[in-house]
Chains A and B, each alone.
Chain A
Amino acid sequence: MSQEKIIEVKNLSKKFGSFTAVDNISFDVYKGEIFGFLGANGAGKTTAMKMLIGISRPTSGEVTVAGYDVKTAAEMVKKSIGYMSQRFSMYDDLTIKENITFFGGIYGLSRNKIKEKTAQLVSELGLEDAVDKLVGDLPLGWKQKLSFSVALLHEPKIVFLDEPTGGVDPITRRQFWEMIYAEAHKGTTIFVTTHYMDEAEYCDRVSIMVEGHIEALDTPKNLKQQFNVESMNDVFLKLARNVE
Chain B
Amino acid sequence: MRTILFIIQKEFRQIFRNKAMLPIIFVLPFIQLLILSNAASFEVKNIQFSYIDNDHSAASRELISKFQSSDYFKIIGNFESKKEANLQMEKGKVDVILEIPNHFERNLLTEKKTTLSVSINAIDGAAAGVENVYITQIIASFNQKIQSELYQYNDNSFVQPQNIVTIPSFWYNNTLNYKTLMVPGILVLLVTMLTLFLSAMNIVREKEIGTLEQINVTPIKKHQFIIGKLFPFWVLGLMILTVGLLIARIVFNIPILGNIGLIYLFTSVYLLVILGIGLFISNYTETQQQAMFIAWFFTVIFILMSGLFTPIESMPTWAQQLTLFNPIRYFVEIIRMVMLKGATFSDISRPFFIIAIYAFIINGFAVWSYKKTN
Contacts and interface: CB of A to CB of B under 8 A. Distances in A.
Whether both chains belong to one complex is answered with yes
B2 interface: yes
A106 interface: yes
B218 A107 contact: yes
B373 interface: yes
B106 interface: no
Contacts of A101: 6, 9
B214 A94 contact: no
A6 interface: no
Interface in B1-44: 2-3, 5-7, 9-10, 13-14, 17-18
A181 interface: no
Interface in B200-223: 209-211, 213-221
B147 to A, nearest CB: 76
Contacts of B215: 106
Contacts of A78: 217-219
A41 interface: no
Contacts of A94: 10, 13-14, 17
B374 A57 contact: yes
Contacts of B213: 55, 85, 87, 89
Contacts of A37: none
Given A89-B210, A93-B14, A108-B2, A55 B216 contact: yes
Contacts of B350: none
A123 interface: no
Contacts of B13: 94, 98
Interface string A87-108: 1111111100010011101111
A91 B10 contact: yes
Contacts of B56: none
Nearest to A79: B219
A55 B219 contact: no
Nearest to A107: B218
Interface residues of B, number: 26
B372 A106 contact: no
B373 A57 contact: yes
A90 B373 CA distance: 20
Nearest to A134: B17
| Interface footprint category on A | 20 to 34
A102 B214 contact: no
Contacts of B17: 93-94
Contacts of A50: 374
Contacts, number: 78
A50 B374 CA distance: 9
Contact of B10 (A55, A88, A98): A98
A91 B9 CA distance: 13
B374 A56 contact: yes
Contacts of B3: 105-106, 108
B219 A75 contact: yes
Interface in A36-62: 50, 53-57
B210 A53 contact: no
Nearest to A75: B219
A80 to B, nearest CB: 9
Contacts of B216: 55
A90 B10 CA distance: 12
Given A55-B216, A55-B217, A93-B17, A105 B374 contact: no
Interface string B151-188: 00000000000000000000000000000000000000
Contacts of B219: 75-76, 78-79, 106-108
Contacts of B6: 101-102, 105-106
Nearest to B7: A106
Contacts of A90: 211, 214
A153 to B, nearest CB: 10
Interface string B208-242: 01110111111111000000000000000000000
A87 B210 contact: yes
A198 B231 CA distance: 48
Nearest to B18: A93
Contacts of B210: 85, 87-89
A208 interface: no
A102 B217 contact: no
Given A53-B217, A106-B215, 11 more contacts: A54-B373, A55-B216, A75-B221, A78-B218, A89-B211, A94-B10, A98-B10, A98-B13, A102-B7, A103-B218, A108-B2
22 contacts: A53-B217, A54-B217, A55-B213, A55-B217, A55-B374, A56-B373, A74-B372, A75-B219, A76-B219, A78-B217, A78-B218, A87-B209, A87-B210, A90-B211, A92-B209, A93-B18, A98-B13, A101-B9, A103-B218, A105-B5, A106-B219, A108-B3
Interface of A: 50, 53-57, 74-76, 78-79, 81, 83, 85, 87-94, 98, 101-103, 105-108
Can you list the 4 inter-chain pairs with the closest CB atoms, starting with the nearest? Answer: A105-B6, A87-B210, A89-B214, A83-B217
